[in-house]
Each structure stands twice: as structure tokens, then as C-alpha cells.
Amino acid sequence: MSVSRAAVVVTALTAVSTIFGFVRDVVIAAVYGAGPSLDAYLVAQGLMNVVLGLVAYAMARSVTPVIAREVAAEGSTCASHRSFDTAITVTMVVLGLGAIVVGMCAGPVTALLAPGFEGEQADLAVLLTRIVLLATVLIAGTDLLAAVAQAHGKVVWSSLQGVPFNIIMIGAAGLFGPRFGIEALAVGFVIGSAARLLLQLPPLRSLGLRVRPRWDVRDRGFGEIARLMPPLLVGSAISNVNSLVDRAVGSTLGDGAITALSYGWRLVNLPETLLIASLLVPLYPALGAAAGNLPEIRRLVNRGLSVTVTILVPLTLVLMVAAFPLSFVAYGRGEFTVEDARATAVAVLWYAPALVAMGVRQVMVSTSYALGDSKAPVVVSLIAMVINVAGDISLAPVMGVAGIALATSASLGFAAIANGWLLARRHQALAVGEGMRLIGRSTAISIVAVVAGLTALRLSEGTPALLQGGLTGLVVLAAYVAGLVLMRAPERRVPLDMLKAARRRRA
């Protein structure tokens, strides 16, 4: 399957999972509101992500290019990968021990990560942490099994893994939340994680792949994976540290601040997860397979950037211009009040610029990893982490939730630019001239689209939030598309190309 066709398939399937995820967030917001119990749950979940992120994500990213090259060399008939067997065994052991240690130290660790929590809220955070830590090994196994399937060109099941997880979470919150409180959500998280893992077994069976416990750390393939691990490990930890610092500082801003940040980020991250992340599922193995072909690498990078900018820039503008009506439509029901929606809208407004930065950074970093260069992205991530932490500490006391969101956007913007510069300088894998022209066209069109959107927002004042947000969003999108057509921008063909790929897939 070509990258374009695979991207269409993955995008469609990811859309299903994403819709269920959005419904999950809506139900959770309605049941629990933006209060202390949900803040405690989000801190507990963040601590679990640190344990998970220290090993699982980095291992999965290291496995994909190695297995993709083995598949390209041996064909799809290979029934096992010794390097993968060792990788998954080592990961399970390390994460299992790590989860036990963190669970034993949950009290002092949560006190450090949420200094604003006191009394019952602090005790609740400890309990929830110990519950969600049970999911660590389950999620790690899911990521690794999905990685080996994707390396074989099987992307369907990994794209659907969010469906059973989110259905279980919706049931846990909606059916059991009112009776058992936030603990029902934590238990649902563990059960849903087990369902995600089970969903990764069918593609392995169809491929005839056998996964066995193995501790052959001298295996050549595992050695290559292990060499990629340290910088990827640091990079993964950095990402989770940023989230933990955001929530730690947010815990000092009062009840609901962490929830506003989390829900604002999820609303901003929704299109990136739906569109760009799904594009990179097939793009990353393709980059790994083309590592020795510089023209093909440049073509793939240019394609990724064109899709990223063309899709995410107008959506970013919509989020910024219509932050409040969109936040109220998304979450404003049940226990989630108008004031909660306003706080979330503030986070959306200042998080929104990070949307494009995330997409660009993902394309650049994935290309660097595929080329075997994992050190440069890690150095950039370290500097970006310093920017984020310094911004949180200095801006939060002055700007509140907006300051934390702005610090995140600034750090991600720096990471996108720096990774692009390093990719061009170290590997000549980025056509700088084309990239600058793409940014220039996008900036010019964005100015016109924002003016049109603000005008629509003002003219629709007093109308229901759904109508106001929908009208404003349509005006911004229409203005942006019109700008692409009038300027005869090459990227205006991106949506048509994706539709053509979808038709070829159906044929």
C-alpha cells in the first residue's frame, strides 16, 4: 500500500477512534466537571505516562525502522523477528518493575508533582496513581505490537485501538461514575487498556508472526534498536516532564486549572491526532525504508509538510478565533459550567499555535529518526523543555492558565524550527526554499482569514454557541481555501490528492 493510500485508510479509521475519544471527554466533563477530583485523576494519569514514556514509546519508535528494513530485505513471509522478541521482553520486565517502584513511592511522588494538592485531594491522587499504574505494561505491549504490525504494512488494527478503550471509558464514567466517583474512571482506564492490547493480536495472526519471550541482548537487530533507545528515551521523558510541570504549576492556580489545561489541550490536539499523526503512521516506515535515497526522503518530507501546513493552519485559526463557542459546545453540559468553558477557552486560545508546530516537528523528527539521527532532536527537546519550564514558572503567576499554555506553544514552536534547521544542515533532507515559500503563502492567507473570522464572530454575537462557532469556523476555512485558489498555491491540490487516493483504495 502506498503512503497516500495508507494515510487515507489510517485517517478514516483514526477518525472513528477520535470521535469516540471526543465523546469520552464530553461524558467525563459532564459527570465530573472541572473540579478537584478530575484534577487528581489527571495528575495520576500523568505520573503513569512518565513510567510509560521512559521506555515504551522510545522502544516502539526504535523498533519500527529496524523491523521495516528487515521486512524490506526478507519480504513479508518472515514469521518472527528475534530482535523484536527481545525488545518486547526487556520492555515488559523493565516497565513492570518500574510500575511497582513508583506505586510504592506514590505518596511523596504525587506531593512533588502536585504541590497545590492538600488533604483528601492529595490522598485521592495517590490512590488513583496506584490504580492506573496497572495499565503501564498493557499500554507498552500495545504500542510494541502495533509497531511491528505497522512495519509489515498492517495499519488498520492499530488505528482502531482507541474504539474499545473509549467505549469502556464512556461506560465507566457515565454508568459507574455517579455512584463510585472518580475511582470508576481509573478502573475503566485499566480495563480499556487491556482491550487495546487484545485488539493488536489479529494482525499478528494474519501475518503468521510468532512473538516469544526472549532475552538475547546480543542479537544484532536488538543492538541496533538499543543504540536508538538512549536519545529516544530522553526525548520521550522530556515530553512527559513538560506535561508534569504544566500540571504541577497548574495545581497552584486553584481547582479546575489542571482540567481546563487538559481539556483545552485535547481540543487543540484533536486535529493533529486525527490528521497528522495518522499520516505519519505509514510515513515513518516509508522514510526508514528510503533512508539511503535522498531524493525520495526529500519528496516524502515535502509531502508531509504540505499536508501539515495546508490542513492544520486553517484549523489553528478556527480554534483561536472561536475558542469560547467551540469550548462551550464541546464540554458545556452537566457539571461543566460556563466558567469552566471560559477557562478552557483561554487554554485553547494560547495552545492553538502549538498545533502547527507539533505537526511540523513530527515530520522533522520522524525524518531524523528514520535517517538514524536521534541525537539532534533530543538536544532540541532539552532546550525546548527549558523554555517550557521557565515559561511556566515565570508566566503562570502573571497570566494564570494562559501563561502555561503560552509556554507550551513557545517551546513547541522553537522545536519545530530548530529540528527543521538541523535536518537541512546535517542531512540536506529538507528543501528550505520550498518550505519558506510554503510558510510565506500560509502567513499571507492567514491574515485575511483571521480578519474574516473575527468579523463573523462579532456579527454572530448573541446567537447560540453552536451557530456562532460553526459560522465563524466556516468563514475562516472558506477564506483560507479561497486564498489558496487565488494564489494558485501548489498545496491547494493536497485535499484532492487525498480524495483520489481514497477512490483508488475503494476501486
Report d(CA 387, CA 391) in Å as an integer. Answer: 6
* Angle between the N-to-C axes of helices 36-52 and 106-113, in degrees from 0 to 180, rounded to the nearest 10: 110
What is the DSSP secondary structure assignment for residue 78, as one 8-state letter? -
Q: Say how many CA atoms lie within 13 Å of 133 toward its Cβ.
A: 23
**Residue 400 backbone zone (phi > 0: left; psi -120 to 50: alpha; other: beta):** left
Highest mean pLDDT among 128-137, 152-161, 305-314 belongs to 128-137
What pLDDT sits at residue 11? 62
Report d(CA 9, CA 461) in Å as an integer. Answer: 39
Residues contacting 99, CB < 8 A, separation 6+: 51, 133, 134, 136, 137
Of 244, 257, 256, give the one whose Cα is nearest residue 113. 244
Q: Kindly state whether residues 336 and 247 are assigned to the same domain.
A: no
**Residue 216 backbone zone (phi > 0: left; psi -120 to 50: alpha; other: beta):** beta
Could you report the per-residue pLDDT of 236-253, keeping only the tens digit for each?
Answer: 666 677 777 888 898 888
Which domain covers residue 315, as residue numbers? 256-507
For residue 362, give the C-alpha cell. 513530527
What pLDDT sits at residue 301? 78
Q: Which amino acid is at 229?
A: M
Q: Kindly state whether residues 286 and 150 are assigned to the same domain.
A: no
Residue 25, domain member (yes or no): no
Report d(CA 110, CA 125) in Å as an integer. Answer: 7
Residue 165, domain member (yes or no): no
Give 281-306 as a DSSP string. Answer: HHHHHHHHHTTT-HHHHHHHHHHHHH
Residue 14, domain member (yes or no): no
In which band, very low, low, confident or very high, does the pLDDT at 395 lie, cut at 50, 70 and 90?
very high
What pLDDT sits at residue 6? 56
Could you report the per-residue pLDDT of 327-371, keeping only the tens digit for each?
Answer: 999 998 888 889 999 999 999 999 999 999 988 888 888 788 777
What pLDDT sits at residue 75? 56
In which band, very low, low, confident or very high, does the pLDDT at 8 lie, cut at 50, 70 and 90?
low
Residues contacting 471, CB < 8 A, separation 6+: 456, 460, 463
Give the C-alpha distances (Å, rounded to integers) separating 232 from 63, 235, 366, 373, 405: 11, 5, 11, 10, 25
Q: Which of 209, 234, 255 is the last residue of a domain?
A: 255
For residue 166, give the C-alpha cell. 473509549
Q: Which amino acid is at 395?
A: L
Q: Kindly state whether residues 320 and 353 are assigned to the same domain.
A: yes
Q: Kindly state whether residues 251 and 315 are assigned to the same domain.
A: no
For residue 141, give the C-alpha cell. 505491549
Query: Does 493 score more than 80 pLDDT?
Result: no
Query: Does 494 score more than 70 pLDDT?
Result: no
Residue 223, domain member (yes or no): yes
For residue 112, give the C-alpha cell. 512533588
* Angle between the N-to-C axes of helices 338-351 and 353-370, in degrees from 0 to 180, rounded to the nearest 10: 50
For residues 234 and 17, the model is more confident at 17
Could you report the per-residue pLDDT of 165-196, keeping only the tens digit for each?
Answer: 999 999 999 999 998 999 999 999 999 999 98
Q: Kindly state whether residues 202 and 332 are assigned to the same domain.
A: no
Q: Kindly state whether residues 206 and 303 are assigned to the same domain.
A: no
In which band, very low, low, confident or very high, does the pLDDT at 9 lie, cut at 50, 70 and 90?
low
CB of 315 within 8 A of CB of 271? yes
Residue 137, domain member (yes or no): yes
Residue 9, domain member (yes or no): no
For residue 379, give the C-alpha cell. 538536544
In which band, very low, low, confident or very high, does the pLDDT at 279 lie, cut at 50, 70 and 90?
low
Q: Kindly state whether residues 245 and 325 are assigned to the same domain.
A: no
**Residue 421 backbone zone (phi > 0: left; psi -120 to 50: alpha; other: beta):** alpha
CB of 411 within 8 A of CB of 384? yes
Residue 304, domain member (yes or no): yes
What pLDDT sits at residue 143? 83
Q: Kindly state whether residues 241 and 272 are assigned to the same domain.
A: no
In which band, very low, low, confident or very high, does the pLDDT at 397 lie, cut at 50, 70 and 90?
very high
Residue 29, domain member (yes or no): no
Q: Kindly state whether residues 122 and 146 are assigned to the same domain.
A: yes
Q: Kindly state whether residues 307 and 246 are assigned to the same domain.
A: no
Could you report the per-residue pLDDT of 429-485, keeping only the tens digit for each?
Answer: 777 777 788 888 889 999 999 999 999 999 998 899 999 999 999 999 999 989 988
Q: Kindly state whether residues 440 and 295 are assigned to the same domain.
A: yes
Report d(CA 232, CA 225) in Å as an integer. Answer: 10
Report d(CA 292, CA 479) in Å as an integer. Answer: 41
Q: Which of 233, 255, 277 is the last residue of a domain?
A: 255
What pLDDT sits at residue 316? 94
* Angle between the N-to-C axes of helices 220-250 and 58-74, in degrees from 0 to 180, rounded to the nearest 10: 150
Q: Kindly state whether residues 284 and 382 are assigned to the same domain.
A: yes
In which band, very low, low, confident or very high, does the pLDDT at 72 lie, cut at 50, 70 and 90?
low
Q: Which of 214, 240, 255 is the last residue of a domain?
A: 255
- Total structural domains in the chain? 2
Could you report the per-residue pLDDT of 303-314, keeping only the tens digit for each?
Answer: 778 878 888 899
In which band, very low, low, confident or very high, does the pLDDT at 148 lie, cut at 50, 70 and 90?
confident
Could you report the per-residue pLDDT of 364-393, keeping only the tens digit for each?
Answer: 887 887 777 777 888 888 899 999 999 999
For residue 58, give the C-alpha cell. 522510545
What pLDDT sits at residue 212? 79
The whole-chain average pLDDT of the chain stands at 82
Could you report the per-residue pLDDT of 282-295, keeping only the tens digit for each?
Answer: 666 666 666 667 77
In which band, very low, low, confident or very high, does the pLDDT at 155 lie, cut at 50, 70 and 90?
low
Poorest-pLDDT segment among 32-36, 57-61, 116-120, 249-253? 57-61
Question: Is the C-alpha dihedral spanning 139, 142, 144, 146 positive or negative?
Answer: negative
What pLDDT sits at residue 500? 55
What pLDDT sits at residue 423? 84
For residues 456 and 54, the model is more confident at 456
